[in-house]
Structure 1
Amino acid sequence: MQQRVLKVHPADNVIVALTDLKKGEIISFQGVDYELVDDIAAKHKFLTEDRAVDEEITMYGVLVGKAKQFIPKGGLMHTFNTRHASDDFGLGSRKLEWAQPDTSKFKQRSFLGYHRQDGSVGTANYWIVLPMVFCETRNLEVMREALVDSLGYGKNQVWKDQTEQLISLYRSGKSVTDILNADLAIEEETATQTRLFPNVDGVKFLNHEMGCGGTRSDAQALCGLLAGYATHPNVAGVTVLSLGCQNAQVSILREEIAKRDPNFAKPLYVFEQQEIGSEEKLIAGAIKQTFAGLIEANKIERQPAPLSKLVIGLECGGSDGFSGISANPAIGHTSDILVSLGGTVILAEFPELCGVEQELSDRCVDEETALKFNSLMKIYNSRAEAVGSGFYMNPSPGNIKDGLITDAIKSAGAAKKGGNSPVVDVLDYPEKVTKPGLNLVCTPGNDVESTTAEVASGATVVLFTTGLGTPTGNPVAPVIKLSTNTKLYHKMNDIIDINCGTIIDGQETIDEAGERILDYVIQVASGQVTPHSVRLGQDDFIPWKRGVSL
C-alpha cells in the first residue's frame, strides 16, 4: 500500500502529502493524529503545529519560510500564508566526513567511450560548427542545410511527411474543417538514416545571439564558454565562422582554449568572412574543410574506459513538490557512487541553493573553496536584488502550483542532487572542472543556460530531473530526463527516460533508484541506449549573459 504522507527530516514542522488529502481527514503519522483544516493536494504540505505570524517553517531540516498569517496545525502551507525565509551563512567548520555508498556492483564496470589526447573520455563523438558572433547565424544555417540531411543526421522526416499530406489535401480542394479532421497516416520512423560517417554522432551548430554589442566581459565569457565546447571530450573537431570585427575575437577563443588544454590538438578550422570576402567562398571553404575533418573524426572508435572518466552534470527543471524526495535524492545517490569510484559530478544553478549555503560551504574541502562559494552566492543574490529580483522570487508559477512555495523549499530539494560527498572545487562561469569529485559551478537556475554551462565545464552526460516535464537537451552531451512522479512518466513518455516516481509509489528505495540510474548512464555513455533528447535532436544552447537570470 502506498504511503500517503512523508516527513522529510525529524526537525521539520511540515508534512508532505504523497496523494490528495481531504479537509476533515484525520492523518495519523508516527503516533500523532493531524486533523486537516484544508484540502491538501499531492506534493503540497500541511503544518504539524500552529504557526503565528513570523514564526519559522522548517523542511529538509532547514528554515524555508515564515508565516505571513496564523496557520493552524493541519493547515495548508501556501503563498497566501507563507513568505520565503532562509538562514544566513558564513565561514563555518569543515564537515567532510560522509558515509560512502556501497560501490561493489560497479567497481569492475566500464563504459565504451572516445579517448582524447588530453586523457579525457567522451560519451559521444561530434563535430561542432560555432559562430564568433550572431552575424554569422545565416551562414551557419546554410551549412546546416547542406550537411545534416546529406550526411544522414536528419531527424524530422515524420513531420515532413505530415506536411506533405496536408499539402496534398489542400491541393485537392479540401476545406479547413476537412483538413483539421483528416486522419493522417503518421508513422514513427522505424530506422535511422544511414550515416556516411558511422563513428561520428553528428555535426552540431551552436547558434547564439552574442559576440558583439555587449560588454567586453560578455565577449570574454562567451569565448570561454565556446572554448569549453571546443575542448569537450564529446567533440572531435571544430569549424569556426567569424565576421572579423566583433568583440569576441578568435584570438580570445584561442587563449581560452589554451587555458583549458595547453596542448590542444584537435582540428580547429577558422573562416573569417571579412578576410575571405564573399559568402560563397566562406561557405564553400567551411563545408569542404568540415567534410575533410569528418573523415578523420570517423576513424576514432569507442574503447573501454573506467567509470572514473565519467563527468555527470546534475540539472533540474520544471520541478515539483516531489523533486526533493524522489528524483533529486536518487541522482544524489548516483553522484555519491560515482564520486566514490573516482568520477566527477557538477552541481550548478546557484539561485537554487538558497537556504542550504551553510551546509554546502561546510562541505567544501578547505576554507578558500568555502569562501569562494560564499562570495559567489552573495554577489549573485545582491545583483538580483539590485534589479528587484532576489533569489526569493525564483519559484515559477508551475513550481508553486505543484508544491514549491518558497525558493528555500525549492533549493533544499534541488541540492539533494549533489548527494553527500565533500565539495572539491567551486568554479565561476564558464570555468572548466579539473578535479574528480563534487564540483559546484556558478550558473543561473534557467534550465538551458545552466545545462549549456555545465557541458562547457566538462559534463559528458547530464542527469535532468523534472516534475512538470521539459524537453531541454544539449548539442553535444546526452541529457537524460528523469521524472519525479509516475503520472508524468506515462504522460510525457516521448521525452522522459527514467521514472523515479517508483520511490513515491513505494516500489523501490532511493538507493535502488540511484543504482538503476547509474546502470542507464553507463549504457548511454557506451552508445548502447539513445536518450529521448538525443533521439529528438533537442540541441538547446543558450550562453549566459552575465546579467540577472534566475
Structure 2
Amino acid sequence: MSSQNKILKIHPKDNVLVALTNLAKGKRFQFNSKEYEIQDDIPAKHKFATEHFSKGDIIYMYGVIVGKAKKEIPMGGLISTTNLQHDTETYNAEDSIEKIQWQAPDISKFIEKTFNGYHRTDGKVGTENNWLVIPLVFCQNRNIEVLKQALVEKLGFGKQQHLGFDVDSLIEDYKNDVPVETILNRNIIKPNTEKLKNPIFPNIDGIHFLTHEGGCGGATSDSVALCNLLAGYINNPNVAGATILSLGCQHAQAGILENALNKMSPDHKKPIYILEQQQSDSEQEFLAEAVKKTFAGLIMANKNERKSAPLSKLVIGLECGGSDGFSGISANPTLGYVSDLIVGLGGATVLSEFPELNGVEQELINRCVTKEKAKKFSKIMSTYSAKADALGAGFYANPSPGNIKDGLITDAIKSAGAAKKGGTSPVEDVLDYTEQVVNAGLNLLCTPGNDVESTTGLAGSGCNVILFTTGLGTPTGNPITPVVKVSSNTKLFNKMPDIIDFNTGAIIEGTSSIEKTGEDLLDFVIQVASGKLTKAKQLRQDDFIPWKRGMSL
C-alpha cells in the first residue's frame, strides 16, 4: 500500500491527515510533496498533525473548525482527547446566501426507474402497508399487549417471524439430564427465511403495536408532542390505518391527536378507530371492540396492492449511529450522493440529528433557499444548544465512548462528517420535531442524536425509507419504515452480515467511488421500496421511542 492509500486529506484547508490503516511510530513517508515522521502509533480512523501546533491553535477537518489544541502537538503527532478540545465555527443567519447555485448529479440512469408501492388518496406512496395499534397513554400498554397476543398469531403475522431458536431441544436436554457443557455447545439457531405473504391479508406488511411510556404525568408539552408524533405515524404513507386506545383522563387527549392529523392531512381517508376505556362497561368488552375494529380495518387495508410509482415519491431519512472515523469519508458521503440524486429526481430527503450538525451550521445556513428558513434553523439550533448547556450536557458531550475510540474525538469532528449525509443540494425546508415533510428537496429535521429517538422522529415526519450509516454496528430499526443499514467499512460488513444491508468500504479501499457506490445504493433502495426485506425487518427491530423535550412533574 502506497502512502497515498494509507492516509487521506479530506479538504485542502485541513491541517490534519486521516490514517486509513494503522501507522507505526517512527514511520516516514511523503504526502503531497511533504515528508512526515509519525510521532505516535496512529490507529486506523484516527488523525495526526500536518504541522506543529501550539496551545490554542485551531485545528481544521472537512474544511471547518473541529477543535483547539489543549497543548503542544508535534507534526506527525496523534490527535486525541488529551490534546484537543471541542471548538466550532460561529454562525449567523443574517449571513445566508440568497441565491444558491447548485448542479444536480447525472440522474439519467434513474429517470425511467420506478418502485412498486402503495398509493394513498392524498397522492403519497408507501413502501409498506402497515396497520398500527397505539396507546395514547402508558396505562394502556397492558391492553395493547393483550391485543397483540390475541391478534398476531391468529391472523398469521406470527408466522412471519424470521429469527427463531430451538428452545424445545434445550427443554429436552434438561429433562434428560444432559450436562450444561453440552447444552452450551449446542447450536439452537433456526435459519432465517424470507418473509412469505400473510395467508389472510397478503397485502399487509405488518400490524405494529407502538407501546411507550408517555401520555401523562410529564410536561403537557410532551403529551402534545406525543400526539403530534402519533398523528405523524398515522399520516405516514407506509400506514393504512390505526386502532387507538385511550384511557380517557390523560393529558394526551384523543382530540389533540385528531386535530393534529386533520391539520397534516385533512383528506387522508384512512380508517381510524379511537376507543376510550373509561366509557366502556368492562375491560373485556373494551378489548373485544378493539379486536373487531382492527379486523375490519385490516380488511379495508388489504384491498390496496403495490403499483408502480416514480422515484419522486420517495421520502428518504438520512441517519447515522455507532459512527466511526470512516463514516464521514465513505458511508455518509454515499448517502449525500443518494440524497442529491433523489433531489434531482424530484423526491425528498431528510437530514436529522441537530446535535450532530454542531460546527457546520453556517454551511447549512448558506444552503437554505430563504432567509426565513435560515433563521428558523439558527433559532432551533441555538435554543437546543442553550437548553443542553443548562442541563450540563452541551453538544460537546455528544460523542460516545465508541465514537471516541474509533476516531471521532470531538462533536465538531463527528458533526462535520455526519453532515455529509445531506449532500450538496439546497435546503428547501427546516422542520421542528414532528413537523411534516411537505416540500421536495433536502429538509432539515430537528431530532436528538439518540439513534432510536431520531429514527422515530424521521418516520413520524413522513419518511418512507430510512438510510442508516454505521461504522461500529447498530441493531435498530423502525416499525413502519424500512431502515437500510449502511456500513462505513468492509470489516464491519463481514463481521455483522445479519445486521448490515450495504457496504461502502470499497471507497476506503480505493476500489470504488462515492458516485458509483451511491448509484448502487439507490438501486438497493428501489428494491427495498418495492418490498425487499431489510435486515432490520428480518430481525424485527421495531424500535419506537418518542422524544421527551420537557420535564417530569
TM-score range, shorter-chain basis? over 0.9
Aligned to 1:533: 536
- After TM superposition, the structure 1 = structure 2 runs for residues 58-457 of structure 1, keeping only pairs within 5 Å, are 58-91=60-93, 92-94=95-97, 96-154=100-158, 161-181=165-185, 183-190=186-193, 192=195, 195=198, 196-457=200-461
Instruction: Return the offset for 1:184.
Output: 3.3
**Structure-1 separation of matches of 2:143 and 2:332:** 41
**Structure-2 separation of matches of 1:246 and 1:185:** 45
Instruction: Return the offset for 1:331.
Output: 0.7
Pair 1:385–1:286, CA change in 2 (3 A): same
Secondary structure of the structure 2 residue equivalent to 1:481: strand
**Structure-1 separation of matches of 2:389 and 2:194:** 52
**Structure-2 separation of matches of 1:18 and 1:123:** 37
Quick one: percent identity of the two aligned structures? 59
Pair 1:191–1:385, CA change in 2 (3 A): closer
Aligned to 1:543: 546
Most deviating of 34-43 and 183-192: 183-192
Secondary structure of the structure 2 residue equivalent to 1:43: coil
**Structure-2 separation of matches of 1:25 and 1:517:** 37
Maintained 8 Å contact 1:158/1:186: no
**Structure-1 separation of matches of 2:21 and 2:419:** 24
Task: List gaps (5 residues or longer) in structure 2.
Answer: none
**Structure-1 separation of matches of 2:201 and 2:480:** 17
Most deviating of 32-41 and 151-160: 151-160
Alignment equivalent of 1:11, drawn from 10, 13, 17: 13
Instruction: Name the amino acid aligned to 1:120.
Output: K
Aligned to 2:469: 465
Pair 1:52–1:191, CA change in 2 (3 A): closer
Pair 1:123–1:156, CA change in 2 (3 A): closer
CA offsets 1:503-535 (integer angstroms, 9 cap, x no match): 0011110011111111011111011x2110111
Aligned to 1:37: 39
Instruction: Name the amino acid aligned to 2:213.
Output: E
Maintained 8 Å contact 2:166/2:190: no
**Structure-1 separation of matches of 2:151 and 2:513:** 46
**Structure-1 separation of matches of 2:251 and 2:119:** 34
Instruction: Return the offset for 1:87.
Output: 1.2
Instruction: Name the amino acid aligned to 2:280.
Output: I
**Structure-1 separation of matches of 2:447 and 2:282:** 39
Instruction: Return the offset for 1:185.
Output: 4.9
Maintained 8 Å contact 1:152/1:193: no
Pair 1:189–1:73, CA change in 2 (3 A): closer
Task: List gaps (5 residues or longer) in structure 1.
Answer: none
Secondary structure of the structure 1 residue equivalent to 2:59: strand
Instruction: Return the offset for 1:265.
Output: 1.0
Pair 1:392–1:189, CA change in 2 (3 A): closer
Maintained 8 Å contact 2:162/2:195: no
Secondary structure of the structure 2 residue equivalent to 1:127: strand
Maintained 8 Å contact 2:317/2:349: yes
Instruction: Return the offset for 1:18.
Output: 0.5
Count of aligned pairs between the two proteins: 546
Secondary structure of the structure 1 residue equivalent to 2:325: coil
Instruction: Return the offset for 1:190.
Output: 3.8
Instruction: Return the offset for 1:176.
Output: 2.8
Secondary structure of the structure 2 residue equivalent to 1:24: coil
Instruction: Return the offset for 1:458.
Output: 0.5
Instruction: Return the offset for 1:167.
Output: 1.1
Alignment equivalent of 1:28, drawn from 21, 30, 33: 30
Instruction: Name the amino acid aligned to 1:63.
Output: I
CA offsets 1:225-276 (integer angstroms, 9 cap, x no match): 0000011100001000111100000000000001100123100011111111
Instruction: Name the amino acid aligned to 2:227.
Output: C
Maintained 8 Å contact 1:495/1:532: yes
Pair 1:45–1:135, CA change in 2 (3 A): same
Maintained 8 Å contact 1:165/1:184: no
RMSD: 1.4
Instruction: Name the amino acid aligned to 1:7.
Output: K
Aligned to 2:488: 484
Maintained 8 Å contact 1:155/1:536: no
**Structure-1 separation of matches of 2:402 and 2:309:** 41
Instruction: Return the offset for 1:155.
Output: 6.3
**Structure-2 separation of matches of 1:157 and 1:265:** 31
**Structure-2 separation of matches of 1:397 and 1:302:** 43
Instruction: Return the offset for 1:443.
Output: 0.5
Instruction: Return the offset for 1:187.
Output: 3.1
CA offsets 1:403-428 (integer angstroms, 9 cap, x no match): 00100000000000000000011011
**Structure-2 separation of matches of 1:256 and 1:113:** 25
Aligned to 1:54: 56
TM-score of the aligned structures, taking structure 2 as reference length: 0.97
Instruction: Return the offset for 1:282.
Output: 1.5
**Structure-2 separation of matches of 1:547 and 1:26:** 54
Instruction: Return the offset for 1:356.
Output: 0.1
Pair 1:346–1:53, CA change in 2 (3 A): same
Pair 1:262–1:185, CA change in 2 (3 A): closer
Aligned to 2:498: 494
**Structure-2 separation of matches of 1:191 and 1:395:** 36
TM-score of the aligned structures, taking structure 1 as reference length: 0.97
**Structure-2 separation of matches of 1:378 and 1:444:** 14
